[in-house]
Structure 1
Amino acid sequence: MTFSKTLPRLGALLAVGAATAARAAYTLQDAYDQTNFFQGFEFFDAPDPTNGFVKYQSARGANDASLAGYASDAVFLGVDYTTANPQGGRNSVRVHSKKTYNGGLIVADIAHQPAAQCGTWPAFWTVGPNWPFDGEIDIIEGVNLATNTTYTLHTGPGCTFTQGDCNAPGTGHIGCGAASGDTRTLADGFNAVGGGVYAVEWTASAINVFFFPRDGEIPADIAGGGADLDPSSWGPPAASFAGDGCDIASHFRDHQIVFDTTMCGDWAGREFAADPVCGAKAASCEEYVAANPAAFAQSYWLINYVKVFTDGQQQKQQQQRKRFSA
């Protein structure tokens, strides 16, 4: 992967227009790419809610440290890999979409995600404001040397699918999940094929997750960059959460789209010691992350775009919400 020598600072860029034609199931609503990503996403710089050994940077801090910008015609989100023994955690980036969504089709074309490395916990996900009661959809998530993603939902009580109780308690709040058996979905396997496309179709009756690796399996309507998409032509999803055990509309509300890379914390930190490779490297996850900055040179995201599509019914519902809240 060839990087530009200097990552440009964040600034005002051209907006991407949304097409108005509606010939397929979903029509483009919002597009975030190298022309406007940092206008549509905001930086989260509070303490990590998952107790990671990380310091999330503000927009200014991330830009000054070249942890966020553009490279290879894509959006770059990285981790500090030069500072030894940083106090309080390693500098990283977490961004949230400014807009919130209540259903639709979210499509993300990603060229690179953080490589498999002891101590890391990267994720691409959506989440509501009152966790877990407004829901969470984990699309890309893995820790340490994991080789494939796990698609997981988190909710308050009363939401169950065939994958289990989405309010399942336990260390780190287990939720309900479906592990992918495809090593191209995460980290090194994903990067080896040049990345790929994830899509989440979120309706009142199901939450379906699709994955299409770059090696020739991306549907024609996505690859063509059109403003209309029809998931019914894509074949079966990688994971489908459906059935009568959950009222999706009441458990998944007002989601922001999130990218982040944290270190250690509730999941990666716990699994670090249990991993025979990672556990042999240091007495604790925090100790390893602090002492080995160069290990995280490949802990970055390259995002070609994130697009959100909607159907006619969802547009009406969103307009009604705006009227009621006015």
Structure 2
Amino acid sequence: MHVTTLLHSLSVLAGSAFAAYKLEDDYFDGSFFDKFEFWDLDDPTHGFVKYGNRTTSEELGLLNSTDGNIKMFVDSNNVTPKGRPSVRIKTSKVYNQALIVIDMDHMPGGICGTWPAFWTLGPAWPTHGEIDIMEGVHDQPGNKMTLHSGPLCTNLTNTGGTGKVTLTECLSGDGTQNSGCQIATNDSITYGAGFNANKGGVYATEWLADSISMWFFPRGHCPTDALGVCPDPSSWGPPLARFITGDECDISAAFKDQQLLFDTTFCGDWAGQPTVWGNSTCAKKTDTCEEYVRENPKDFADAYWSVNALKVYTDGDKKSDAPANPGPAAQSTNTVYQPAPPTSAPKAQGGGSSTGTNGAASFAKREDEQREYARHLGAHKRRGGLRL
């Protein structure tokens, strides 16, 4: 391992360990949708979709807000020759380095033709970056976490977490494939039908100066502090994905002024590619993605977001390098779950089994990994190994 890579890795551990977070925004404090801007223009990803403003979305019955829960639907009643009505929103507020925690019990994935995402975006794409926290197409079995960036982050050379690196070119825009750098899992409980069958869970994304990390905790296995007053990611064990500053990627410079977004589009630049459609089980239904989305409204009744909490934490004094003499490792009693990385043979997609080697039933076995990680981190701290 290169010395610079090792130093960056230790720096990331230190940053998470010593960040003292405070609640910046609770999106359920007041009216949720008042804090978002509605996109009502053409889809930038060329999807077979028709976005509307807030008034239109309410009139179509695509928005639902109750005490402690919001839902965003797509049209599931009409054949739609010009695109299926849906919702795309982004926060009015902009963030620079933060801890983003969201609790969902349902998401639109796992349905042929869909391309849903919960993500963040800077003002100028790709110069200011994009962070895809939860994203996928059709009936894919697990989540794909991706970064898109400009010339200040071209390739992913330094990573961590339990997921598998599947793409390494972060650089997006003209002259690229726009695929981004990606860490993925085939664990069905993290996305789509499997996520919904298990009543969802909590995603937490920690954006530091030199790393971006993502944890997933299924229903019933979330750390007690994740949505609390002062969450402590250092006690959560290894993340599902960690993107780290390296020789060809400067996280601090490449990701700026991010807004949080939800959207559900259909087909388009990714899901609508003939090879992507053709390689999915969806190709057995119709010849093209657009034909399926246009002609089968009832199949999209379950293509909705159901969100129970969304909080953003920040620390204006937070830095990703450690103090000169860190103290002993904190002991945590938090319960955590770490999904397994994908194997060479993806699991068959079904009704969202939450059992098997990659499901919640394997939680107890993975507690050993959590304890080992805590011992590893504690050993570094006791030796003063985090001085940079």
Question: TM-score of the superposition, structure 2-length normalised?
Answer: 0.71
Question: Partner residue of 1:6?
Answer: none
Question: Partner residue of 1:221?
Answer: 225
Q: For 2:251, give the aligned amino acid.
A: I
Q: Which residues in structure 2 correspond to 1:118-267 (within 5 Å)? A: 118-159=112-153, 160-162=155-157, 163=165, 164-167=168-171, 173-214=178-219, 216-222=220-226, 225-245=227-247, 246-267=249-270
Larger radius of gyration: 2
Equivalent residue for 1:289, pick from 282, 289, 293: 293
Is 1:83–1:293's contact at 8 Å kept on the other side of the alignment?
yes
| Alignment partners' CA distance in 1, 2:176 and 2:225 | 41
Q: What whole-Å deviation, never above 9, does each CA across 1:246-265 have from its counterpart, x for those lacking one?
A: 22121101111000000000
SS state at 1:29 partner: strand
Is 2:100–2:206's contact at 8 Å kept on the other side of the alignment?
yes
State yes or no: 1:307 paired with 2:311.
Answer: yes
Q: Which residues in structure 2 correspond to 1:54-93 (within 5 Å)? A: 54-70=49-65, 73-84=68-79, 86-93=80-87
Runs of 4+ in 1 over 3 A off after TM superposition: 168-172
Q: For 1:101, give the aligned amino acid.
A: Y
Q: What whole-Å deviation, never above 9, does each CA across 1:252-291 have from its counterpart, x for those lacking one?
A: 0111100000000000111553235211211211111110
**How many residues were matched structurally?**
289
**Structure 1 residues 276, 236: CA separation in 2 closer, same or farther (over 3 Å shift)?**
closer
Question: Partner residue of 1:14?
Answer: none
Displacement after TM superposition at 1:181 (Å): 3.0
Displacement after TM superposition at 1:212 (Å): 0.6
Unaligned runs of 5+ in 1: 1-22, 316-326
Q: For 2:272, give the aligned amino acid.
A: G
Displacement after TM superposition at 1:226 (Å): 2.1
Q: For 1:66, give the aligned amino acid.
A: G
Task: State the superposition RMSD in angstroms.
Answer: 2.0
Q: For 1:156, give the aligned amino acid.
A: G
Equivalent residue for 1:37, pick from 32, 40, 50: 32
Displacement after TM superposition at 1:39 (Å): 1.3
**Structure 1 residues 93, 191: CA separation in 2 closer, same or farther (over 3 Å shift)?**
same
SS state at 1:295 partner: helix
Displacement after TM superposition at 1:36 (Å): 2.0
Q: Which shows bigger deviation, 195-204 or 165-174? A: 165-174
Is 1:118–1:272's contact at 8 Å kept on the other side of the alignment?
no
Higher fraction of strand: 1
| Alignment partners' CA distance in 2, 1:286 and 1:138 | 24
| Alignment partners' CA distance in 1, 2:280 and 2:144 | 21
Displacement after TM superposition at 1:172 (Å): 5.3
SS state at 2:111 partner: coil
SS state at 1:165 partner: coil
SS state at 1:46 partner: coil
Equivalent residue for 2:43, pick from 40, 48, 57: 48
SS state at 2:283 partner: coil
Is 1:172–1:267's contact at 8 Å kept on the other side of the alignment?
no
Q: For 1:244, give the aligned amino acid.
A: G
Q: For 1:186, give the aligned amino acid.
A: Y
Amino-acid identity (%) = 48
Is 1:42–1:98's contact at 8 Å kept on the other side of the alignment?
yes
Is 1:104–1:311's contact at 8 Å kept on the other side of the alignment?
yes
Displacement after TM superposition at 1:171 (Å): 7.4
Question: Partner residue of 2:22?
Answer: 27
**Structure 1 residues 168, 47: CA separation in 2 closer, same or farther (over 3 Å shift)?**
closer
| Alignment partners' CA distance in 2, 1:161 and 1:29 | 30
**Structure 1 residues 276, 115: CA separation in 2 closer, same or farther (over 3 Å shift)?**
closer
Displacement after TM superposition at 1:24 (Å): 6.8
| Alignment partners' CA distance in 1, 2:70 and 2:93 | 18
**Structure 1 residues 272, 240: CA separation in 2 closer, same or farther (over 3 Å shift)?**
closer
| Alignment partners' CA distance in 2, 1:87 and 1:72 | 36
Question: TM-score of the superposition, structure 1-length normalised?
Answer: 0.84
Displacement after TM superposition at 1:147 (Å): 1.0
